[in-house]
């Protein structure tokens, strides 16, 4: 998220929080203010408070309608990862004052189509016009039904512990990846750099519809209900790609991990687009991709295969802090998330 400048203390927080977090669920922005924090610091704080209230947000600059649709999917996936079926969402769309009505209608249609495909009710769509800004979409999603699947969190046994203490525990729970890395980012790049890419690849190869369809399939109620009994923990990928999601996973579980880089799934189309545009797919915007922890990985992958969703065991959690990435004979350690690779070529 690009950080707006300015200290909080007046109406600046209200303006930024409503713009970024949305006003349909947020209502009157939080009155409590903290000194020495920028506007974006307060927005991040507001988002965390919203998540405690089971409201999950996603924000994007949206030069094309598919970006708006993917923003909705990312907010819904955050809701899903929390253990709730996403049921409704509110959207705020901000357009430059000179935006044509046709463009606005295209963004609204993309949002409505995605919501309908995922069984999500759009409770509100607010459209505003602001001078001198790019198109910006904010989605706040929430879920009504809490799955009673006994989500027990993640436990890792220690061989030194007594047998009675480790009975029924998984020594190293499996990390499973659903969907593919960098799909959202590659879809955006395909649209923005159509001329360059079409000069190298055929239009039939550059079809990105399957990437969007797979992201929608992850949110279909029938699939969700079949998968959740096999989930101990789940996390939605997004900004910073699969590597940022894996780093966050270790932070939230307070565990280390071992990942096989060759098992991380990347669509062939994403690979070719990233190579052409010199972009790293592992730190590329990855809405439509989820990570789950399971002690029944074979069953979880089978459920995904039945639904036509690509899934792969990419590693395991382990005790300690080491975040090891194995690529053949090469072993390295995952670095903290610094920046998504998309803004390096996608200028707003």
pLDDT at position 223: 86
Express each pLDDT in 169-204 by its tens digit: 446 789 999 999 999 999 889 988 999 999 999 999
Q: Residues 164-190, buried b or exposed e (16+ Cβ, 10 A)?
A: eebeeebebbbbbbbbbbbbbbbbbbb
Domain of 79, in residue numbers: 15-25+43-146
Same domain, yes or no: 177 and 270: yes
Same domain, yes or no: 174 and 98: no
- DSSP H helices, the chain, are 12-21, 39-52, 65-81, 101-117, 163-166, 183-192, 194-198, 209-217, 221-227, 241-253, 268-276, 297-306
Backbone angles phi, psi at 145, to 5 degrees: -95, 125
Residue showing tokens 């000069």: 199
Same domain, yes or no: 320 and 174: yes
Same domain, yes or no: 199 and 129: no
Structure tokens at 38: 């920028």
Q: Structure pTM?
A: 0.76
Cα 282 from Cα 79, distance rounded (Å) = 23
Which of 135, 147, 164, 160 has its CA nearest to residue 63? 135
| Among candidate residues 146, 181, 204, the one where a domain is terminated | 146
Cα 294 from Cα 230, distance rounded (Å) = 6
Q: Which residues of the chain fall short of a pLDDT of 50?
A: 1-35, 39, 148-155, 157-170, 346-348
pLDDT at position 146: 55
pLDDT at position 328: 92
Same domain, yes or no: 326 and 177: yes
Same domain, yes or no: 137 and 183: no
What is the CATH number for 136? 3.30.1330.10
169 located within any domain: yes
Cα 279 from Cα 263, distance rounded (Å) = 19
pLDDT at position 341: 64
Total domains present in the chain: 2
What is the CATH number for 327? 3.90.650.10
Cα dihedral sign, 78-83-89-90: negative
| Among candidate residues 146, 171, 187, the one where a domain is terminated | 146
pLDDT at position 142: 86
35 located within any domain: no
139 located within any domain: yes
Same domain, yes or no: 171 and 109: no
Cα 234 from Cα 19, distance rounded (Å) = 28
3 located within any domain: no
Same domain, yes or no: 179 and 299: yes
Cα 179 from Cα 240, distance rounded (Å) = 15
With beta carbons less than 8 A apart as the criterion, state whether 33 and 62 touch: no
Which of 139, 138, 141 has its CA nearest to residue 51? 141
Question: 24 Cβ partners below 8 Å, 6+ apart?
Answer: 90, 91, 92, 123, 124, 126, 140
């Amino acid at each position: 998220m690009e950080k707006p400048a300015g200290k909080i203390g007046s109406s600046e927080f209200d303006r930024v929080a409503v713009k970024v977090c949305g006003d349909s669920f947020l209502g009157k922005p939080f009155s409590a203010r903290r000194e020495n924090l920028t506007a974006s610091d307060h927005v991040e704080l507001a988002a965390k408070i919203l998540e405690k209230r089971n409201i999950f947000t996603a924000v994007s600059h949206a030069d094309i309608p598919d970006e708006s649709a993917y923003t909705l999917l990312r907010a819904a996936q955050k809701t899903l990862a929390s253990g709730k079926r996403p049921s409704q969402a509110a959207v705020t769309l901000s357009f430059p004052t000179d935006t044509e009505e046709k463009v606005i209608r295209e963004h609204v249609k993309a949002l409505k189509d995605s919501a309908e495909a995922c069984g999500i009710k759009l409770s509100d769509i607010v459209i505003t016009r602001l001078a001198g800004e790019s198109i910006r979409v904010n989605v706040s999603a929430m879920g009504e039904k809490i799955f009673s699947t006994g989500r027990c969190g993640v436990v890792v046994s220690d061989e030194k512990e007594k047998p009675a203490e480790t009975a029924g525990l998984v020594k190293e729970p499996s990390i499973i990846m659903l969907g593919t890395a960098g799909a959202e980012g590659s879809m955006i790049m395909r649209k923005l750099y159509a001329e360059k890419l079409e000069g190298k690849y055929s239009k039939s190869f550059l079809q990105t519809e399957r990437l969007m369809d797979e992201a929608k399939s992850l949110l279909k109620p029938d699939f969700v209900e079949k998968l959740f009994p096999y989930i101990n923990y789940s996390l939605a990928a997004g900004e910073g790609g699969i590597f940022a999601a894996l780093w966050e996973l270790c932070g939230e579980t307070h565990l280390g991990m071992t990942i096989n880089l060759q098992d991380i799934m990347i669509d062939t189309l994403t690979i070719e687009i990233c190579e052409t545009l010199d972009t790293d797919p592992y730190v590329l915007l990855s809405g439509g991709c989820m990570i789950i922890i399971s002690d029944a990985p074979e069953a979880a992958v089978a459920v995904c295969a039945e639904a036509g969703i690509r899934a792969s065991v990419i590693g395991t959690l382990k005790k300690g802090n080491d975040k090891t990435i194995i690529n053949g004979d090469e072993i390295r350690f995952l670095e903290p998330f610094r920046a998504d690779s998309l803004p390096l070529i996608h200028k707003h």
